[in-house]
Amino acid sequence: MPVPIRPDSRLSRIRAMSTPELLDRVTVLRDQMDDEALELLHAELASRGIGQDEIGAHLREMRFKIVQHPDGMPAVCHKCGRAAVVSRLEWHRMWGMIPLFKRQRYWCEEHS
Ligand SMILES: [Zn+2]
């Protein structure tokens, strides 16, 4: 049975995001967001005093750094919600120890 989603849970998740993650989501990850999310993300950025100038600067900085999947969609960090800037072929390990197979993993600036 599906767990009902509280209407304020989305807003509280957005409020808990770092400013760079919010900026990634309204710029390079924009196509992966729905209209309601974009509205909430922009409202949260505005409440932090961040406007169109900063958003435009972030887009100019990030658009040539991001890593894309073969279909052209920007990759997201394996550890957080930021746009990935590095991709590496890494071992997938059972219980974090036993190597099973290699897989492509994506990492943001902070976690790369
Ligand atoms: Zn990350």
Taking only the tens place, the pLDDT of each residue in 40-74 is 999 999 999 999 999 999 999 999 999 999 999 99
Say how many Å lie between the CA of residue 95 and the centre of ligand 1.
Answer: 21
CB 79 within 8 A of CB 107: yes
| Helix (H) or strand (E) run with residue 16 in it | helix 9-16
What are the structural domain ranges in the chain?
1-64, 65-112
Say how many Å lie between the CA of residue 3 and the centre of ligand 1.
Answer: 27
In angstroms, the first-to-last Cα distance of the chain is 38
pLDDT value at position 18? 95
**Ligand 1 (ion): which residues have CB within 5 A?**
77, 79-80, 82, 108, 111
Return mean pLDDT, the chain: 93
Say how many Å lie between the CA of residue 111 and the centre of ligand 1.
Answer: 5
- Residue 34: pLDDT band (50, 70, 90) is very high
What predicted TM-score, i.e. pTM, was given to this entire model? 0.84
User: Could you tell me which residue, 3 or 13, shows the higher pLDDT?
Assistant: 13
Cα dihedral 60→64→69→74 (10° resolution):
-10
| Helix (H) or strand (E) run with residue 60 in it | helix 52-62
pLDDT value at position 8? 77
Say how many Å lie between the CA of residue 24 and the centre of ligand 1.
Answer: 11
